[in-house]
Amino acid sequence: LEYGRSVFYVQKFVPHGNWDFRLFVIGERILGMRRVGEGWKTNVSAGANPQAWEPDEESREMALKAREVTGCVYAGVDLLVGEGGEKYVVEVNAIPGWKGLQSVRKENVAAMLLDYLVKE
């Protein structure tokens, strides 16, 4: 680590049953999915299984606040639910992928994003 010129991020591990939520925030509009992994990593690109999920009000508020405080126009917000039911924002991605999300949603995610960006 001493000789590396990379940035390292360290965060507390939150036991979460190998699943999390991804909320795709476009302005005030939010689409959600649940991601279930083989281990603690839940990235769809790493093999996690995306599932349809409608965010509850608390999750929606957390995602909107995360997008606002980071200054993102749109964002992928990852939430974990701890063993006691508490929710944690663990990542806000300014350039989120949506292939997994699109596979479980009826809405055309790319069209929604493009429409929002053109209007803004």
Domains parsed from the chain with CATH numbers? 19-119 (3.30.470.20)
Check whether 114 has a pLDDT greater than 90: yes
Backbone angles phi, psi at 76, to 5 degrees: -105, 120
Query: What's the predicted TM-score (pTM) here?
Result: 0.88
Measured CA angle at 99 (ends 97, 102), to 5 deg: 120
Q: Which residues of 13-25 are buried (b: 16+ CB within 10 A; e: fewer)?
A: eeebeebbbbbbb
For the stretch 45-85, pLDDT in tens is 888 999 999 999 999 999 999 999 999 999 999 999 998 99
- Tokens, residue 51: 């599932």
Residue 9: the pLDDT is: 79
Give the whole-angstrom CA distance, residue 85 versus residue 62: 15
